[in-house]
Chain A
Amino acid sequence: MPNDISEQICQQVKQAQQSAQPLSIHGSHSHDFMLPEFAESQQLNMNEHQGIIDYQPTELTVTALSGTKLEEIQQTLAKEHQRPSTDFPAFSADATLGGAVSIGHTGSARPYYGAIRDHILGASLVNTSGEIMHFGGQVMKNVAGYDVSRLLAGTRGTLGPILEITLKVQPIPEQQSTLCMDLDENAAIEIMNRLAGQSLPISASVFFDNTLYIRLEGTEAGIQQAQKTINGQPMADGVDFWNSIQQQKHDFFTSSQPLWRVIVPATTPGLKLENQQSSLIDWCGGLRWVQASEVSTADIENIREKGGYIESFRGSKPMQQADLMSPLQKQMHAKIKSAFDPDQLFNPALSNFA
Chain B
Amino acid sequence: MHADPNLYDYWPYVGRPKIEWPGGKKLAFWIAPNIEFYEFMPPNNPKRQPWPGATPNVQQYSQRDFGNRVGHLRLMELLDKYNLRGSVSLNVALCNHHPEIIEDCVKRDWEFFSHGIYNTRYSYGLTPEQEQAVLKDSIQTVEKASGQRIRGYLAPALTHTEATLDLIAENDFWYSCDLFQDDQPQPLKTKTGKLVSMPYSLEVNDVITYSVMGFDPERYTNMLKRHFDQLLLEGERSGTVMCIPLHAYLVAQPHRIRPFEEALKHICAHQDDVWFATGKEIAKHFIDNYWEQSIADIKARGVMTGGTGFNPVVRGL
Do chains A and B interact in one complex?
no
